[in-house]
Amino acid sequence: MGDGDDDDLAAVPSGPVRVRVPAKINLHLGVGPARPDGYHELHTVYHAISLYDEITARPGDTLTLTMQGLGVGELALDDSNLVIRAANALAATAKVPAQARLHLRKQIPLAGGLAGGSADAAATLVALDTLWGTNLGRDELARIAATLGSDIPFLLYGGTALGTGRGEAVSPVLARANRWSWVVAFADGGLSTPKVYGELDRLRAEGRAPAPLGSSDELLSALRQRDPAVLAEALGNDLQAAAISLRPQLAETLAVGDKAGALASLVSGSGPTCVFLARDDAHGADVAAALTESGLCRGVQLAHGPVHGARIG
Ligand code: ATP
């Protein structure tokens, strides 16, 4: 064994590797027509917010997954779980045995429109790239991520980023540092992302969907102005009408936020989570109090963005 190999071995940790990963919202989600492969062409602006899942990876003889938090008893922990799929994809690419004990601490709700499953996959790639000493780095991990799901590459990088294609082609938005205050309102139960896209296609075919959003240019220029009132005007989500059509109560939740003075109220991704832009955290606390009082939400939380993507520590 040469010196280089010794160095590589020394770099592989034997203890747990813990990775925290944020949820995403879409500041702009423009949905084009369905492509021949069934995916819709997207132009979106992703934004990572301070609501986190956590993956801990330890050495093991086989590949196992345990979990705590939201979704226990509901989320399968077998090969269908995005955590296991991400681990197997990394092992296959790096040609290493897929062996690790993985534990998921879940705070991002299932099927909430916050890309929680994608976040867990991104965290797994980062954790195992370190535990296994494969050291592929973010860009190579992003290539593996794109084969697993459209939102996963973004969650490796975090921040605010433009997504094109089916969302997997990500380029960071070089906005001057700013801290945006959000209120996140969780709903009971989830919404299936494919069903929401299907509902949008149906509404469009019947001429009942709002006009599709244009490009993300207005949103990008609003981000540069660093004024939450300007950003509020530019936020938009083509999936919102479809999510409300499937879950009419979401319109009431959005109306509570509007009435409480939120600068903007919108469905996050495919829903049913709703997000509200506030002037600052104190204003956010007022909006959150009104949403809690309405009794329409399973829970309400303050968050801020942008935050980093999947990271050790
Ligand atoms: P997206 O907006 O990316 O579609 P979402 O936030 O609406 O995501 P997720 O919770 O990310 O929904 O996942 C949707 C489905 O993916 C779940 O209902 C579940 O069947 C499957 N899934 C697989 N692995 C996971 C995981 N680790 N966490 C959550 N869901 C997972």
Residue 284 Cα to ligand 1 middle (Å): 27
| pLDDT attached to residue 176 | 65
**In angstroms, how far apart are the furthest CA atoms of the chain?**
68
| pLDDT attached to residue 90 | 98
Strands 17-34 and 236-237: parallel
- Select which of 24, 53, 106, 129 is catalytic: 24
Residue 77 Cα to ligand 1 middle (Å): 12
Is the C-beta atom of 87 inside 6 A of ligand 1? no
Instruction: Collect contacts of 197-205 with beta carbons under 8 A, ≥24 apart.
Output: 197/31, 197/34, 197/40, 197/239, 197/242, 197/270, 199/242, 199/243, 199/245, 199/246, 200/31, 200/238, 200/239, 200/241, 200/242, 201/34, 203/241, 203/242, 203/245
| Site to substitute for ligand 1 among 31, 40, 75, 197, most atoms within 8 A of C-beta | 75
Answer whether 71's CB lies under 8 Å from 114's CB: no
Among the listed residues 107, 105, 110, the one whose alpha carbon sits nearest the alpha carbon of residue 50:
107
Residue 149 Cα to ligand 1 middle (Å): 10
Tell me the three state secondary structure of residue 26.
strand
What number of other Cβ atoms are within 10 A of residue 258's Cβ? 13
- Could you give the CA distance from residue 31 to residue 28 in angstroms, rounded to a whole number? 10
| Site to substitute for ligand 1 among 193, 196, 199, 273, most atoms within 8 A of C-beta | 193
Is the C-beta atom of 115 inside 6 A of ligand 1? yes
Phi, psi at 175, each rounded to 5°: -80, 145
Whether 139 sits among the annotated catalytic residues: the reply is no
Answer whether 76's CB lies under 8 Å from 157's CB: no
Is the C-beta atom of 288 inside 6 A of ligand 1? no
Strands 63-69 and 100-106: parallel
| Site to substitute for ligand 1 among 110, 120, 191, most atoms within 8 A of C-beta | 110
Among the listed residues 238, 273, 210, 196, the one whose alpha carbon sits nearest the alpha carbon of residue 43:
238
Residue 112 Cα to ligand 1 middle (Å): 8
Residue 82 Cα to ligand 1 middle (Å): 8
| pLDDT attached to residue 177 | 74
Q: What is the DSSP letter of 203?
A: H
Among the listed residues 135, 139, 121, the one whose alpha carbon sits nearest the alpha carbon of residue 310:
121
The protein residue whose alpha carbon is closest to atom 29 in ligand 1 is 117
Residue 278 Cα to ligand 1 middle (Å): 27
The token pair that represents 180 in the structure block: 């945006």
| pLDDT attached to residue 140 | 97
The protein residue whose alpha carbon is closest to atom 12 in ligand 1 is 111
Amino acid found at 206: E
Express the helix, strand and coil content of the chain in percent, nearest 5 each: 35, 30, 35
The protein residue whose alpha carbon is closest to atom 4 in ligand 1 is 193
Within the chain, strands assigned E span 17-34, 40-58, 63-69, 100-106, 160-164, 169-172, 180-186, 236-237, 264-267, 274-278, 299-305, 311-312
* Chunked mean pLDDT (size 10), the chain, 313 residues: 42 82 98 89 96 98 98 97 98 98 98 98 98 96 97 97 92 83 97 97 96 92 94 98 98 98 98 98 98 98 97 94
Whether 217 sits among the annotated catalytic residues: the reply is no
Is the C-beta atom of 110 inside 6 A of ligand 1? yes
Neighbour-count burial of 291, counting CB atoms closer than 10 A to its CB (0-12 exposed, 13-18 middle, 19+ buried): buried
